[in-house]
Amino acid sequence: MNVRFLYPVVVLALLGILFSLANTPNMVTHTLPVSQHDIAQMESSSFTVMMDVLTHQRCMNCHPNDDIPKQGDDRHPHYFGMARGINDKGFQATNCHTCHQSVNNKNSGVPGAPHWALAPASMGWEGLTRTEIAGRLLNRETNGNKSHEELIEHMTKDELVLWAWDPGVNANGVQRTLPPVSKEDFKKAVVDWFANGAVIPTK
């Protein structure tokens, strides 16, 4: 429990994150809190990494709190009035799968992944703080009755979640922005955060 001892580790972690970011279009600089409690710091850093992803538009666009999916880096409402509809998959006849298939489409620029749909309304995160999002994530009443193990599974293996790192090109053929953290770092952060008790930092 020596701050001076751990400090270089934190710096290294920081550099690691920055390195992983070097190839992504939008660089985000992460300032890790330096607290007196090292564990808390570790937790806090995995929490931050995880949340940097969850609050990124690639994730957030499909976790709306107004039943309207968002699109693009500016998070505009989905064009043509598409909405949550039935079972989070759009309207009766015109639904997500009318346009979105299980893979990205490089000709049309329409993104796709298996079971393309909105996150359930209970997982609407838009406008919530990181702490509030984490609360919803852990709460079995809002997370679809998932245990921690199931949440880890979902967040590190579900193809729709991992689509965020392979979002394809947009209608103009331009690569979509990636989350600010690499897929591997994100997975590690999720695993670490749960391994350390899934503590939601308090301010």
Partner 1 sequence: MKISFIINGMSKIIDVEDENTPLLYIIRDVLDLKGTKFGCGKAACGACTLHVNNEAVRSCSYPVKFAEGKEIITIEGLGNRAKPHPVQQAWIEEIVPQCGYCQPGFIMATAALLNKVPRPTDKDIDNNIINICRCGTYYRMRKAIHRAAELSAESSSTSFKITD
Partner 2 sequence: MATNKNSNKGVSRRKFLVKGGLGTLGVLAVGTYIFRNPIRRGILGKVNSLEMPYTDNTDKPMIWFEITSDNFIRLHSPKMEMGQGTFTGIAQMAADELSIAMHRIKVVHAASSTGNVDSFATGGSTSISGLWQPLRELSAMLRTMLLKEASHKLNLDIDQLIVEDGTIIGKGKQLTFAQVADGVDEWVVPDSPVLKDIKDYKYVGKPVPRIDLEDKVFGDPIFGMDAQMPNMLYGAVVRSSKIGSVFVSADSTTAEKMPGVVKIIHEADFVAVVANSMIEAENAKNAIEVIWESYDNLNTKDIVEIMTVGNGSSTIIQKKGKALKEKDNSLTMEFRTPIGAHAQIEPNGVVAFVKDGKAIIKISTQVVGLTRKEVAQRLDLDVEQVIVEPTFLGGGFGRRLHTPHAVQAALMSKAVGRPVKYFFSRKEEFQHDMFRPPTHHVISGNLNEEGLLNVLEHEFVSGDVGNDSALIPGFLPPIIGADIGAIRGGFIQYTGIPNFRSVYWHVDLPFATSWWRSLGLLANTFAMESFMDEMAIRAQMNAVEFRLRQIADDPIGIRLKNVINAVTDKAKYSENIVEGRAMGLAASIDANTPCAQIAEVSIVNHEIVVHKVTVAMDPGLAVNPDQIRAQCEGCVIMGISAVLYEQMFVENGELAPTIYGPYKMALMKNAPKEIDVVLLQGKDTPGAVGEPPLGPIGAAIANAVRRLTGERLTQLPLKLPKYI
With CB cut-offs between 5 and 8 Å by kind, which of partner 1, partner 2, none does residue 31 bind? Answer: none
- Kindly tell me which of 1 and 93 has the beta carbon lying closer to partner 1: 93
For residue 96, with 0-12 CB atoms within 10 Å meaning exposed, 13-18 middle and 19 or more buried, which class applies?
A: buried
* List 72, 77, 85, 201, residue binding partner 1 (CB under 8 A): 85
CB of 101 to partner 2, least distance (A): 17
Count other C-beta atoms under 10 Å from residue 26's C-beta: 12
Count other C-beta atoms under 10 Å from residue 79's C-beta: 9
Count other C-beta atoms under 10 Å from residue 90's C-beta: 23
Question: Which residues bind to partner 2, rule: CB under 8 A?
Answer: 79-81, 107, 171-173
CB of 132 to partner 2, least distance (A): 26
* List 14, 91, 191, 201, residue binding partner 1 (CB under 8 A): 91
The two structure tokens encoding residue 153: 């599974």
* List 83, 121, 162, 191, residue binding partner 1 (CB under 8 A): 83
Interaction between residue 99 and partner 1 (CB under 8 A): yes
Interaction between residue 76 and partner 1 (CB under 8 A): no
Q: Using alpha carbons, select from 140, 3, 117 the residue that is nearest to residue 61.
A: 117
Cα–Cα dist 48/62, whole Å: 20
CB of 100 to partner 1, least distance (A): 8
The answer to whether the CB of 151 falls within 8 A of the CB of 119 is no
Give the per-residue contact string, 156-195, with partner 1 (x = CB under 8 A; - = no). Answer: ---------------x------------------------
CB of 41 to partner 2, least distance (A): 43
- Kindly tell me which of 103 and 200 has the beta carbon lying closer to partner 2: 103
Phi-psi region of 15 (alpha: psi -120 to 50; beta: other; left: phi over 0): alpha
